[in-house]
Homo-oligomer: A and B are copies of this chain.
Amino acid sequence: MKITVKKSPIVIPGFRFSGVACGLKPSGKKDLSLLVSDVPATAVAAFTTNQVKAAPVFIGAERLRAGHLQAIVVNSGNANASTAQPGLKLARDTCALVGRELAIDAQLVLPSSTGVIGVLPDWRKMRTGIPAAAAALSPRGFWSATAGIMTTDAFPKVATRQVKLNGRTLSIAGMAKGAGMINPNMATMLCYVCTDAAVSRAALQQVLDQTLPDSFNAISVDGDTSTNDTLVLLANGQAGNREITPRGRGYTAFRDAVREVLCRLARMCVKDGEGATKVVDIYVNGAKNTADAEKVARSIAYSPLVKTAFFGGDPNWGRIACAVGYAGARLDQDRLAISVGDIPIGRNGMSTGSRNEHRAARIMQQDEFSIDIHLHMGRGRAHVVTSDLSTGYVHFNSAYTT
C-alpha cells in the first residue's frame, strides 16, 4: 500500500533516541537503534510464545524480572535467532557494551534483534555501531530510532498520544516494525512504547494485559509468532504526575491512550503486510462464547482461499462459509449470516443472490472494508484485522533470501 508519513517531531521528556547504520544491512540503511531513559524506567514486556526463541528474547526476559530498564538496544538485519550459545553471548555482550557507553548498569539494558535467522550477527559491526549510536543520542532522535528497527517495512510505524492528568501532560509515543507477513505467519514484530508518565509496575502490567488482546494480539495468534517478537512499555515518571496505580485516578485515561497507540501501530503493521493491498476487519458476533468467536475470526483471517478472494475483490460466500465450518466452533449452518460491509451476502446458511454479490464486490474494491459474521448461537464476539493475499506476497517471499 502507498502510505505517506508526515514526520512531526516527537519528544518524550527524559528520553533520548538514536539510529545509525553499522553495516548489518547490506543496503547500508540504518540498522542499530538506542532508546534511552535519563533514569531507570518502570518496564513491562510481552515476548514471542514461539518455542524457538531468539537469543535476545531469552536475555530480555531475564532483564525484565527486576521491573526496570534504562535502555533498549535494537539491531535490524540479523535476528540472532537459532544461534545457540554464541547468540546468547553476543546478546549479553551487546548489553554490556551499551552499559559501558552509557555508564549504566548492563542489567538495565534490553536487547532486541530482527532480520535473518540462523546466522550470528557480525560482532565487529555491532561493536562499532553501539558507540556511534550512543554518540548520536538525542531527545529528537525518535524517527531515527524508528528507521533503525525496520526490515522489510515499507514505511515507519509511529503513533503518539497525550493525556492530561491534574494539570500535567503525559506523553506517550510508540514505534513498531511489522515486517509484514503478519498473518498467519508473522515475521518479527517489535514495538516499543515510551511515556514520561509515573506509573506503578502493577498498573503498567495491567495496562499491557488489557490492551494487548485488542491490538497486537488481534492481528496474530499466540501460536503463530516469530522467534523474536517483543513489545516493551517504558514509563520513566519524568512528567511528575502522582503515580498511576491499577485502581487510582487517571488509570483508565492512561490505559485507553496506550491502547490507541498500540491499536494504531498494530493496524499499520497489517497495512504494511508484504504485498497487502487491502486491510480487512473481520467481526464475528453471535458465537456461543468468546473463544468460539475468536476461532471463527482467525479461521477466516488465515484462510489463503479467503484472502486471495479479498485480493480479487470476490465476495465468495462459499469460501467464507467453508472457513467458518472448519474453525472448530459450535455452529448451526442454517443460521449462518455473512455480510460484506452492510451488504448481506449469506443469510440462514444460503446466498442472498447475485444482486447483493455485485454490490458486495464493489465494496471489496476499497482499500479497507469489513466482513461481518453472525452465528446466531450466543453472545460471543471477536474482531481480527487482516490483509489480503496478493501475488505481491508470493513474489516478495519467494525472492527473500536466507
Query: B185 contacts A317, CB within 8 Å?
Result: no
Which B residues lie within 8 Å of A318 (CB)? Answer: 79, 81-82, 116-118, 227, 402
Query: B333 contacts A51, CB within 8 Å?
Result: yes
A399 to chain B, nearest CB (A): 6
* Complexed CA–CA distance, A227 and B399 (Å): 35
| Residues of A that sit less than 8 Å from B by CB | 49-53, 79, 81-84, 116-119, 181, 184-185, 187, 223-227, 303-305, 308-309, 311-312, 314-319, 321-329, 331, 333-334, 336, 346, 348-351, 357, 389-391, 393-395, 397-402
Query: B116 contacts A226, CB within 8 Å?
Result: no
Query: B51 contacts A397, CB within 8 Å?
Result: no
Query: B321 contacts A227, CB within 8 Å?
Result: yes
| Known contacts A227-B321, A227-B325, A325-B227: A312-B52 contact under CB 8 Å | no
A175 to chain B, nearest CB (A): 23
| Known contacts A394-B308, A397-B312, A398-B311: A351-B118 contact under CB 8 Å | yes
A377 to chain B, nearest CB (A): 11
Query: B82 contacts A350, CB within 8 Å?
Result: yes
* Complexed CA–CA distance, A312 and B394 (Å): 9
| Known contacts A223-B326, A308-B393, A333-B52: A346-B402 contact under CB 8 Å | no
From B317, B325, B348, B402, contact of A84 by CB (8 A) = B348
Shortest Cβ distance from A226 into B: residue: B322
Which B residues lie within 8 Å of A309 (CB)? Answer: 397-398, 400
